[in-house]
Amino acid sequence: MTVINTAVAPKPDNFTVDPRIQFLFAAVRLMGSNSSIRLQTGDALIAVDVQNDFLPGGSLAVPEGDAVVPALNRYLAAFAARALPVFATRDWHPPDHCSFKARGGIWPAHCVAETRGGGFATGLALPQSVVVISKAATPDADAYSGFGGTDLAARLRSGGVVRLFIGGLATDYCVLNTVKDALAEGFAVLLLADAIRAVDVNAGDGARAQDEMRRLGARAIRYEDLAP
């Protein structure tokens, strides 16, 4: 009878990782959750509706809406360093817009064209080359999406853009609808999870919007996920 005393088995010379642990590492890599993102030609940033009326003190203030400004500025610096294109959408309503309460809509008057409330947030570091996309600029049409009634898709395609980094305001309205249209138009979408804020008319609207965007194929990232 042979007795193997495992308690005194010698330590192997070459340390090897348990294959079960190796499998776990491989699975996490395949999930893609920890792979860093390298900015490259074909990428564009879209800053959605970062306008004064959506910031604290504005007529349709988004809670913590001002937090997207420094958050977006980090991404804007990364795009500027690589000379990659930046687009900024804006709600650009006439004074008698159909979405306003005075006309039976659900919102207070906001982002009226050529007013301070419609202006981009002071401190948002948009490059000189930014392409501004104005939307919902006629009395009887509303558009939460930057693609709604604009030439955004055509401009992106003619610029060779295939992947969009999207952040701004508000998660549960214009970001949500811009992301959905971007995916439907065939763009890859990276949702800037640290550079969005929600109106949250109903508690949880922002979280549900994020879930929906991910379910439809957007990947939620944070600035730290960018390769240096």
Residue 37: count of CB within 10 angstroms of its CB: 15
**Annotation marks residue 98 as catalytic:** no
Nearer to ligand VGL by C-beta: 86 or 110? 110
**Annotation marks residue 140 as catalytic:** no
CA angle 181, 60, 197 (to 5 degrees): 55
| Residue in 173, 180, 191, 197 binding ligand VGL, rule: CB under 6 A | 173
Residue 189 to residues 81, 94, 124, 217, 222: CA-CA distances in angstroms?
21, 31, 22, 7, 13
**Annotation marks residue 49 as catalytic:** yes
Stretch that binds ligand VGL, among 66-74, 167-175, 183-191, 218-226 (CB under 6 A): 167-175
Encoded tokens for 131? 């392409």
Nearer to Zn ion by C-beta: 43 or 142? 142
46 counts as binding ligand VGL under rule CB under 6 A = no
| Residue in 107, 147, 165, 187 binding ligand VGL, rule: CB under 6 A | 107
Write each residue from 54 to 93 as x if it is in contact with Zn ion (CB under 5 A), else as -, in one continuous string.
-------------------------------------x--
Encoded tokens for 220? 């939620």
169 counts as binding ligand VGL under rule CB under 6 A = yes
Residue 129 to residues 78, 94, 126, 163: CA-CA distances in angstroms?
15, 26, 8, 18
Nearer to ligand VGL by C-beta: 79 or 173? 173
75 counts as binding ligand VGL under rule CB under 6 A = no
Could you please report the per-residue DSSP string of 2-47? ----GGGPPPPSS----HHHHHHHHHHHHHTTT--B---TTEEEEE
Binding site for ligand VGL (CB under 6 A): 49, 91, 107, 144, 169-170, 173-174
Q: Return the active site residues.
A: 49, 135, 174
